Structure 1
Amino acid sequence: MKNAKISASILIMLLLTSCTNMQVEDGKHGQVGSITGAIGGALVGQAIGRSTEATLIGAAVGTMLGYMIGNEMDKYDRARLNRALEYTPSGEPAAWTNPDTGNSYEVIPKPAWKDPEEEKVCREAEIIATIDGRTERTYTTACRDASGRWVLQN
């Protein structure tokens, strides 16, 4: 019974995160990050600790980390990321430092391709972010929305 409750909870959380690749309203990136972080943390906690306590601790830690990362990229950074995806040749880096936060980013886009299912133009990219002196590297996909802006998918 206990495992069924945990499995049901995880399934509900995964269903909720299926909405996280939508365009996020300004000021809400931390909230989306905290939801995604909580789910990821809960899954990691359950996989490592195999107990309710480990799941809860993982969810709490994931919530905090997801909020911090989601909140760090402000409007200026999102505009620069959009510009990099739009104009930077494949394999070439585009880098900037946010004058307000001091955070720095480097984006290396790959060639654009058309998503056959959704008929969208997409582009994968490597993003290297240095936030508060810590460097993180991530790989993501961005697709054009109806207005032509690049929207991160994962």
Structure 2
Amino acid sequence: MNLRTLPLRHGVLAVSAALALAGCGTMGGPNEQSGAIVGGVLGGAVGSQVGGGSGRIVATVIGTMIGANIGANVGRSMDANDRSRAAYAFETARTGQPTGWVNPDTRNEYNVTPTRTYEQNGAPCREYTMHARVGGQPDTVYGTACRQPDGSWRVAN
């Protein structure tokens, strides 16, 4: 086995598993799907650092599934008000400046921090970290959002 290609194989496995999970019939809207993909990729990356040989592959797959579930939970929990507040943070917050809120209906807490700003195809994009407390459980999601021609922000991961 070529050690140079080992991380690439695990990355491909993680992305493939995340995309497969995102396409499942039980997935809800685009926020849940995006959360599952981001969480799956990150979980797979963490899992790929555990063990060796076939144990590492199993850890990658398990990490991908756990990460996809966590990411989907955060995405599923966001309502229109939460998406609007996240878009406001993408539009107005300086890089490194957190924007937080508590949803008055669900009592879920969110804190979005843009971590990098760049342009893609003439549109501004923001990488971000979102810390959330959904149903009392803390979760962290990393992602990228880009401004659309209509002025809205869309998660682009």
Smaller-chain TM-score bracket: 0.5 to 0.7
Question: Could you tell me which residue of structure 2 aligns to residue 23 of structure 1?
Answer: none
One of 12, 27, 30 as aligned partner of 2:29: 27
- Post-superposition shift, 1:31? 2.8
Deviations 1:14-50 (A, max 9, x none): 47979x9xxxxx7232233223333332332232123
Residues 92 and 14 of structure 1: CA distance in aligned 2, closer, same or farther (over 3 Å): closer
- Normalising by structure 2, we get a TM-score of 0.62
Distance 2:8 2:127 in 1: 32
- RMSD over aligned CA atoms reads 4.0
- Normalising by structure 1, we get a TM-score of 0.63
Distance 2:93 2:41 in 1: 35
Distance 1:81 1:16 in 2: 27
- Is contact 2:10–2:48 with CA below 8 Å preserved after alignment? no
Distance 1:125 1:145 in 2: 17
**Which structure 1 residue ranges, 5 or more long, are not aligned?**
21-25
**Which structure 2 residue ranges, 5 or more long, are not aligned?**
23-27
> Aligned pairs, how many?
144
Q: Larger Cα Rg: Structure 1 or Structure 2?
A: 1
Identity level (%):
34
Q: Relative contact order (C-alpha < 8 Å, sep 6+): which is higher?
A: 2
Distance 1:53 1:110 in 2: 31
Question: Could you tell me which residue of structure 1 aligns to residue 25 of structure 2?
Answer: none
Equivalent positions of 1:1-154 (< 5 A) are 10-11=11-12, 14=15, 27-50=29-52, 51=55, 52-86=57-91, 88=92, 90=94, 94-107=99-112, 115=119, 117-123=120-126, 127-135=130-138, 141-154=144-157
